[in-house]
Structure 1
Amino acid sequence: MGIESLDQKIAKQQEKLNQLKAQKQAALAREKAKQKVQERKNDTRRKILLGSYLLKKMEDEAEKQKILAGLNEYLTEDRDRKLFGL
């Protein structure tokens, strides 16, 4: 085997290595995107469950007043405050 053919083999292996690295990067990016989507779904589910819990608690008038008092301090935007009659 001549040096030239060895150089060609090295070049081919280097190109294959670069392709594998690119595949690895793409797989990592897909996994990261998948995790981000799942985190968003989990966050949305938490918000829905918390909202449902608070709505159930607001059936009791005393609890309703406590919750609305807390919301009155927390909410700053007019459109949000209107939702709760604040």
Structure 2
Amino acid sequence: MLDSLRTCIGCRVKDSPHQLVRIVCEKRAGEPLPFAVFDDEKNKPGRGAWIHPDSECLSKAHRKGAFHRAFRSRVQPQELVMTA
């Protein structure tokens, strides 16, 4: 069975979920806004966003406000860091 395509929130290119990293919102006690965190296993509950594992895509997503749009609310994506 073929995987459905997902769109990277950074570069807006469609790709297989196997080529992308999933990000979800996570509430933390005492914090007013949820945090965007990587979903390494791609199975955490809630609304997800997809991004290429590339620092350029992450940078584009930050600049364009893509996290807020993808999650339909304000989030704190500052802790997301792509490592090589």
Shorter-chain TM-score tier: under 0.3
Q: Which has the higher contact order (CA 8 A, sep 6+)?
A: 2
Structure-1-length-normalised TM-score: 0.27
Q: Normalized per residue, which structure has more helix?
A: 1
- Return the structure number with greater strand share: 2
Q: TM-score, length-normalised on structure 2?
A: 0.27
Structure number with bigger Rg = 1
